[in-house]
Structure 1
Amino acid sequence: MAGGRAGVADLCGPRLLSANAALSPADLKAALDGEARALGFDCIGVTAPDVLADAGKHFRDFLDAGAHGDMGWLAAHPERRTDPRALWADVRSIVMLGVNYGPDEDPLGVLEQRTSGAISVYAQGDDYHDLIKKRLKALARWLVASSGCEVKVFVDTAAVMEKPLAQAAGLGWQGKHTNLVSRQFGSWLFLGAIFTTLDLPRDETEPDHCGSCRACLDICPTSAFPAPYKLDARRCISYLTIENKGPIPHEFRKAIGNRIYGCDDCLAVCPWNKFAQEGHEAKLAARDELRAPSLAELARLGDASFRARFTKSPVKRIGRDRFVRNVLIAIGNSNDPGLAEAAERLLNDQSPLVRGAAVWALSQLLEREEFEGRATRALSIEPDQTVRAEWSRV
């Protein structure tokens, strides 16, 4: 049902209200709140579809600056992002929902384990799209059956500006790192949206509580924030390791460290996170094997073993080659010559992307003279120009 209308005929459930009960909008909203929390949502708020004027301007400025990089899907149909009514003309209210995924340990601790990989907190368990979508669909079915309305459901897969809508609905505010911050859950909220034809009472917009704090800006390893509340995605490690399909630019490779999928630095240092850890259990079921996996082990993944290891994980979406590229950058940053063997095995990989990253890893781990000797031999047989360029850099 994501992006589509929910049917009414086959909807049923133990807590349904009668569509003929003629509840007041306020009472229906209160019942919706209770049902949402019963389904596992941690916060809920309602806003109007016409609240994105300022956010829309910031988004267009972001696109005009080219700060979205190669994410062409962001630039497609910007009018749909800046005005939900362009996405669905019948929408009257937008219900925003959040699920706490606060970690049960310091996400920055793994950065000191240089022979292990750091995977972003949100990707250490099952894909959040599936987790949230299932709950949203259940709540949407309840709302349709209880009121006779029409709905559309979105979970980060359509042209919806979830974060400014969530702020307008009172769930939190967009911090200086451009992510949503909650007074109850810090920077750790998955978001989902239900568009409905109902006119529900609106919640008040959450004001900005960042004050003079700039911890999230100062910790960024690649200086991806040109100013508070502005992100240049082209410099963001999450973009570089996930969205970027080609070689990682040389200027960012050392700064990436051992981050092999995403980056939590700006989220993890937010002082509001302390409230996410007081009285709230972590809602993300992290897999132990993804908390600090061995780089040497990950470097051995082929296509089949990669898919098997990351089944149901968002990591699977970037594919084996991009992931192993990231692993090799981390190996190059490990300062462990013992990992040179893992990189060397990948010099003959079928993927030029992987071979190029393996060359860089070896350039960081081998003595210069040894690397230059290998480069001379490799250049006589390497057909790909991007890989040849890696051999020729040192």
Structure 2
Amino acid sequence: MDEPQIDPKIRKRRTDLTRFLRQEAGAQGFDVCRITLPDAIPEAPARLESFLEAGRHGTMAWMEETKERRADPRVLWSDVRSIVMFGMNYGPDEDPRLLQAEPEKAAISVYARNRDYHDVIKGRLKEVATRFAARAGADVKVFVDTAPVMEKPLAAAAGLGWQGKHTNLVSRDFGSWLFLGSLFTTAELEIDTPERDHCGSCRACLDSCPTDAFPAPYQIDARRCISYLTIEHKGPIDRALRPAFGNRIYGCDDCLAACPWNKFAASAREMKLVAREDLKAPDIAFFLTLDDSTFRTYFSGSPVKRIGRDRFVRNVLIAAGNSGSQDLVPACETLLSDASADVRGMAVWALSRLLPAGRFKELRSRQLAVEADENVQQEWMTES
């Protein structure tokens, strides 16, 4: 059946608006801008439901609570006619996995080494949206990660790339290093074609995961993912997984960094978000000294600030325990009296790995007498 003819004036308007939108995106520093339809991810509801039913979202209850809106953009906003997906390259200067060879340094995920990308991307999207709405006379909404939008499937449908075996978006031009944002609009625009999967037989991302968080290609179990555990997860972290964290204290870049397509990102990259020098390879020892006030000041404007000081120091103590450094023992001992039970518990675990057995038993006999929290008590009584 032949497609209905579109009025040439309507076609020209779509073309003009699309061209204007791409120009504005480029002016705001986005590396790529593609467009798809709100019904472009029909398989999303079933995939999301399967993920949730398996409990692979861990404690991220908001995914269950917003699943209807998340799975279908038209439920989120019934008037949407076109979805514009934006990508900004944030590829690092060097392989972030190299820092694993320096166990007394703390590894912070590449995306979090500067200003919170949510703020950066959303600010630029709003600039694009304001100009586009004025030109098109259409309604617009912009979203960056925090809204119930399945950005990666939509980005794949729009042609920015494809979802790789690590479930992240992969681009032939930028590898696995793209920040994503979206603009929903009532305007009708020219639609781009999806990108096909180019992973082939490669397993680099799957094999690189320190905690085996991929049950199968194209599937992830957040409950084993270091990024989820260090950022989203509250409370104690599974003892069996802690040694695999190494010095990763906020997020994990291993599956992203392992992708062979990253070789194209380096040549295409224009530095727009330069990492803070003090966050490229910071000392674990310094982070162990942070109280709430100094934590907030030090990470002002950073996404790290959102997890709070206690969860952050909990993560740092795991890295301390994995470091093998006796120099970190005094700071860890000081944190045995911290107000946070999560911090005290991880301090116990760190010391159990850093101290001789006799010295650890002496500490245990003294501290157990004054420790009231059951989780911390359990840390004292469990052999590493």
TM-score of the two chains, using structure 2 as the length reference: 0.96
Provide Cα deviations, 1:234-272, integer angstroms capped at 9, x if missing partner: 000001101011011101100001000000000001000
Cα distance in 2, alignment partners of residues 328 and 319 from structure 1: 15
Instruction: Name the counterpart of 2:293.
Output: 304
Provide Cα deviations, 1:66-123, integer angstroms capped at 9, x if missing partner: 0000001111121111110001000000000000011112211111110010000000
Instruction: Find the residue that maps to 2:127 and give its secondary structure.
Output: helix
Q: How does 1:202-281 map to 2 (within 5 A)?
A: 202-281=191-270
Instruction: Find the residue that maps to 1:250 and give its secondary structure.
Output: coil
Kept after mapping to 2: 8 A contact 1:102/1:284: no
Instruction: Name the counterpart of 1:16.
Output: none
Question: 1:283 offset after TM fit, Å?
Answer: 2.8
Provide Cα deviations, 1:115-167, integer angstroms capped at 9, x if missing partner: 01000000000000010011100000111110100011101111100000000
Instruction: Name the counterpart of 1:201.
Output: 190
Question: 1:23 offset after TM fit, Å?
Answer: 5.2
Question: 1:211 offset after TM fit, Å?
Answer: 0.4
1:391 matched to 2:380? The reply is: yes
1:349 matched to 2:338? The reply is: yes
Question: 1:183 offset after TM fit, Å?
Answer: 0.6
Residue type at the aligned position of 1:357:
M
Match among 34, 44, 47 for residue 23 of structure 2 = 34
1:182 matched to 2:187? The reply is: no
Cα distance in 1, alignment partners of residues 94 and 244 from structure 2: 23
Percent sequence identity over aligned pairs: 60
1:321 matched to 2:310? The reply is: yes
Match among 274, 280, 293 for residue 291 of structure 1 = 280
Cα distance in 2, alignment partners of residues 58 and 294 from structure 1: 41
Instruction: Name the counterpart of 2:34.
Output: 45
Kept after mapping to 2: 8 A contact 1:103/1:282: no
1:112 matched to 2:101? The reply is: yes
Gapped runs of 5+ residues in structure 2? 1-8
Question: 1:376 offset after TM fit, Å?
Answer: 1.3
Instruction: Find the residue that maps to 2:198 and give its secondary structure.
Output: coil
Cα distance in 2, alignment partners of residues 220 and 58 from structure 1: 22
Question: 1:279 offset after TM fit, Å?
Answer: 3.6
Gapped runs of 5+ residues in structure 1? 1-19
Instruction: Name the counterpart of 1:92.
Output: 81
Cα distance in 1, alignment partners of residues 342 and 242 from structure 2: 14
Cα distance in 1, alignment partners of residues 115 and 154 from structure 2: 25
Cα distance in 2, alignment partners of residues 84 and 65 from structure 1: 23
Instruction: Find the residue that maps to 2:43 and give its secondary structure.
Output: helix
Across the aligned residues of Structure 1 and Structure 2, the Cα RMSD in angstroms comes to 1.3
Instruction: Name the counterpart of 1:282.
Output: 271
Instruction: Find the residue that maps to 1:49 and give its secondary structure.
Output: coil
Q: 374-383 or 307-316: which moved more?
A: 374-383
Q: 20-29 or 57-66: which moved more?
A: 20-29
Question: 1:34 offset after TM fit, Å?
Answer: 1.2
Match among 345, 352, 355 for residue 363 of structure 1 = 352
Residue type at the aligned position of 1:192:
G
Cα distance in 2, alignment partners of residues 326 and 124 from structure 1: 16
Provide Cα deviations, 1:306-327, integer angstroms capped at 9, x if missing partner: 0000000000000000000000
Instruction: Name the counterpart of 1:72.
Output: 61
Kept after mapping to 2: 8 A contact 1:321/1:353: yes
Question: 1:60 offset after TM fit, Å?
Answer: 1.0
Residue type at the aligned position of 1:166:
A
Residue type at the aligned position of 1:198:
A
Match among 135, 141, 146 for residue 124 of structure 2 = 135
Kept after mapping to 2: 8 A contact 1:104/1:282: no
Cα distance in 2, alignment partners of residues 345 and 355 from structure 1: 9
Cα distance in 2, alignment partners of residues 58 and 340 from structure 1: 46
Which ranges of 4 or more aligned residues in structure 1 deviate by more than 4 Å?
20-23
Aligned residues: 375
Cα distance in 2, alignment partners of residues 296 and 326 from structure 1: 13
